[in-house]
Amino acid sequence: MLVAPSILSADFGNLARDIKAICDAGCDLVHIDVMDGHYVPNLTIGPVVVEPVSKVATKPLDIHLMVENNNFFVDLFAPLKPKYLSFHIESEKHPHRLIQKIRSLGICPAITLNPHTRVEDIEYLLEDLDMVLLMSVNPGFGGQKFIPTVLEKAKKLKDLINKRNPACLIEVDGGVSDKNIYELKNAGVDVVVAGSYIFGSDDYTKAIKSLQI
């Protein structure tokens, strides 16, 4: 299991320090939550902040867009060369076109599904995707309760992935901890995002290791 700590739960007054700390503690990816205050009722950070603080990151960036104007934000964040750039299927009229654009910029395209969205909705996009991000909370805030129906969704998605594109990864984001990590693993999940669990612990190395099963 790969682990991507969400910096939403980091100390925003010491963001570079916290990004360095999770990289030193052995995380696999650095998850950056980008919220525009329109698509979700919260506002976070743009490239003006992410670019300087991510200079200390020794692990690849995993950027999660929660925005209305995906095209605009893809253009804003592409120069930072994240490994993964994901956008919400629910906020995009032309997901297939946007996936091709992200790929043409040298970035691995990923798509995100809210808790209510059926995995079948993205079946015909799977061949073009490197990762699917399943939300296990409603997007917008850290520290929420895990929605367990994501486990059934992950299993269904795994079947579709095995049929269409076995190389595509499944990522789960929201309410992840050592309490649900084994169920997530059994459901076929490859990558977990964890914010409050990791940043709320007093030993980042131990917390990250407890999820790298």
Ligand X SMILES: O=C(CO)[C@H](O)[C@H](O)COP(=O)(O)O
Q: What are the DSSP calls for 63-132, one per residue?
A: EEEE-S-HHHHHHHHGGG--SEEEEEGGG-S-HHHHHHHHHHTT-EEEEEE-TTS-GGGGGGGGGG-SEE
Residue 171: name its binding partner from Co ion, ligand X, none (Cβ under 5 to 8 Å by kind).
none
Residue 189's SS3 state is coil
Q: Which helix (H) or strand (E) holds 6?
A: none
82 is a site residue for ligand X (CB under 6 A) = no
143 is a site residue for ligand X (CB under 6 A) = yes
Phi, psi of 32 (to 5 degrees): -115, 120
Percent helix, percent strand, percent coil in the chain, to nearest 5: 45, 20, 35
Residues making contact with Co ion (CB under 5 A): 33, 64, 173
Residue 33 appears among annotated catalytic residues? yes
Give the shortest CB-33-to-Co ion separation in angstroms.
4
Shorter beta-carbon distance to Co ion: residue 162 or 208 = 208
Q: Which of 64, 101, 153, 158 binds ligand X (CB under 6 A)?
A: 64
Give the active site residue among 18, 33, 130, 190: 33
Give the shortest CB-56-to-ligand X separation in angstroms.
20
Among 70-78, 154-162, 170-178, 179-187, the segment contacting ligand X (CB under 6 A): 170-178
Reference 39, options 147, 114, 136, 144; nearest CA is 114
Q: Which of 173, 187, 191, 211 binds ligand X (CB under 6 A)?
A: 173
139 is a site residue for ligand X (CB under 6 A) = yes
Residue 173 appears among annotated catalytic residues? yes
Q: Which of 47, 82, 95, 174 binds ligand X (CB under 6 A)?
A: 174
Q: Which of 47, 95, 109, 175 binds ligand X (CB under 6 A)?
A: 175
Give the active site residue among 28, 62, 130, 173: 173
Name the residue with tokens 């914010």.
Answer: 195
Q: Which of 39, 77, 197, 204 binds ligand X (CB under 6 A)?
A: 197
Phi, psi of 196 (to 5 degrees): -65, -35
Considering only residues 3 through 32, tell me which ones interact with ligand X, judged by CB under 6 A. Answer: 6, 8-9, 31
Cα 39 from Cα 20, distance rounded (Å): 29
- Report the half-sphere exposure of 202 (CA within 13 A, side-chain side): 0
Which residues are part of the catalytic machinery?
Answer: 33, 173
